[in-house]
């Protein structure tokens, strides 16, 4: 990358230096939210991926988990409710949520315009499974994700039978 380099509107598809224009990159629409890949597996040799998700207040993304990816949620705008296991917390700009691999989770936007930036490691981020018993998290959760967790279970999440 030189000072003469122009920003890219598409991902390069290989691990090379690049600058990407705001609002560009691979995008997909899911339940009224725009997910945009900023750095994909191809650009990092499979080490990680980085994306943003933007949208209005609406229904939650269905509960799911990722088999191998740790997922990070950094709220950059609005209010984003993060559900992880049987706990929940509303994130505001600057708040960070971390969801280990194989943890049943979902998120929901609560502001007219909300956004988070996320990182998955290793690269991936595609949903591995959804809970057959409950396709979306409860509208109001009574438990809050603690600010710091002392131990983490490595067991696969078990869907609720409620």
> Each residue of 11-51: pLDDT tens digit?
889 999 988 888 887 888 988 899 999 998 899 888 889 99
pLDDT value, residue 64: 94
CA–CA dist 103, 71 (Å, integer): 10
> In the predicted model, what is the mean pLDDT of residues 65-82?
95
| Domain segments of the chain as ranges | 26-130
Q: How many CA atoms lie within 13 A of 112 on its CB side?
A: 0
Who has greater pLDDT, 158 or 1? 1
Are 82 and 95 a contacting pair, CB within 8 Å? Answer: no
Q: Is residue 77 a contact partner of residue 133, using CB atoms and an 8 Å limit?
A: no
CATH fold of 26-130: Jelly Rolls (2.60.120)
Q: What is the DSSP string of 60-98?
A: PPPPEE-SS-EEEEEEEES-EEEEETTEEEEE-TT-EEE
Query: pLDDT band for position 147 (50/70/90)?
Result: low
In angstroms, the Cα distances linking 61 to 21, 108, 150 are: 27, 6, 27
Among 4-18, 56-70, 128-142, the range scoring the smallest mean pLDDT is 128-142
Q: What percent of the chain has a predicted confidence (pLDDT) above 90?
A: 46
Q: What is the pLDDT of residue 101?
A: 93
- Indicate whether 78 pLDDT > 90: yes
Of 21-25, 73-77, 123-127, which one has max mean pLDDT? 73-77
């Amino acid at each position: 990358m030189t000072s003469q380099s122009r920003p890219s509107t598409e991902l390069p598809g290989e691990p090379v230096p690049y600058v990407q224009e705001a609002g560009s990159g691979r995008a997909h629409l899911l339940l009224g939210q725009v997910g945009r890949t900023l750095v994909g597996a191809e650009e990092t040799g499979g080490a990680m991926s980085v994306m943003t998700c933007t949208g209005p207040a609406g229904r939650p993304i269905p509960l799911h988990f990722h088999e191998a990816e740790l997922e990070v949620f950094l709220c950059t705008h609005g209010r984003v409710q993060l559900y992880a296991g049987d706990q929940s917390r509303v994130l505001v700009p600057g708040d960070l949520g971390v969801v280990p691999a194989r943890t049943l989770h979902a998120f929901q936007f609560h502001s007219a315009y909300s956004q988070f930036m996320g990182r998955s490691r290793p690269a991936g981020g595609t949903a591995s499974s959804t809970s057959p018993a409950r396709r979306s998290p409860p509208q109001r959760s009574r438990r809050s994700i603690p600010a710091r967790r002392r131990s983490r279970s490595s067991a696969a999440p078990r869907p609720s039978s409620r």
